[in-house]
Amino acid sequence: MNNQSLNPKLTVFVAGAEGLWTIQRNQPSIGPALPMAAKLTVTSAWPPKSGNWALAGVSSNARYLERKEKTSLQAVQAPLGRPEAKCAALIPIKKSDAWWELTQEERRHIFEAESHHIAHSLKYLPAIARHLYHCRDLGGEFDFLTWFEFAPGESDRFEELVDNLRSTEEWKYVVREVDIRLIYSGSSLK
């Protein structure tokens, strides 16, 4: 067989006893919780050898950005892995069947015209780095995993960002959301 290892471009978040990130909080925001765990590892290996749970996603093409928005985001976004960004959040969400039955134009309308998802996000860049992983087509429990990284001093701004997202029209289509907060605890410099 020429493709036994199905997905070489996976990013896998494994929660268990080991990992460079310490889980400080793991709370369901909408729907069922994820099991508790002490640490989180970010890897590309699937299936994981150990752990309490794992969530996998892939970086994919942008679905909603228009050209001007893409250019604006690219101009200000921050990379993951900055040494000062010792705080992180992993927010897995699942959207309703009603969302996925909408057409692209209908989803885009809710996403930006009504919810200002992109415009609001821009306000927090480059302080809060974020990366979106798609997982709906991978058949897991969630549709998206968003990973955020920021310096401890940006924590209040991060709460504002999350509160903002949760108050949008778009978020009415979220049927499951878990909010996981982490602190970098690797022994070496980040």
Residues at the contact surface with a second copy, assessed by CB under 8 A: 1-4, 6-10, 35, 46-48, 51-56, 58, 60-67, 70, 100-101, 103-106, 108, 134, 136-141
Q: How far is the CB of 169 from a second copy (least distance, A)?
A: 18
Helix, strand or coil, per DSSP, at residue 94: strand
Q: How far is the CB of 65 from a second copy (least distance, A)?
A: 6
Q: How far is the CB of 89 from a second copy (least distance, A)?
A: 21
- List CB contacts of 97: < 8 A, sequence separation 6 or more: none
Quote the strand ranges of 17-173, DSSP E.
21-30, 39-43, 53-58, 87-95, 129-134, 144-150
Nearer to a second copy, 25 or 67 (CB): 67
Backbone angles phi, psi at 94, to 5 degrees: -125, 135
Q: How far is the CB of 117 from a second copy (least distance, A)?
A: 14
Task: Name the helix (H) or strand (E) containing 161.
Answer: helix 155-166
Nearer to a second copy, 66 or 84 (CB): 66
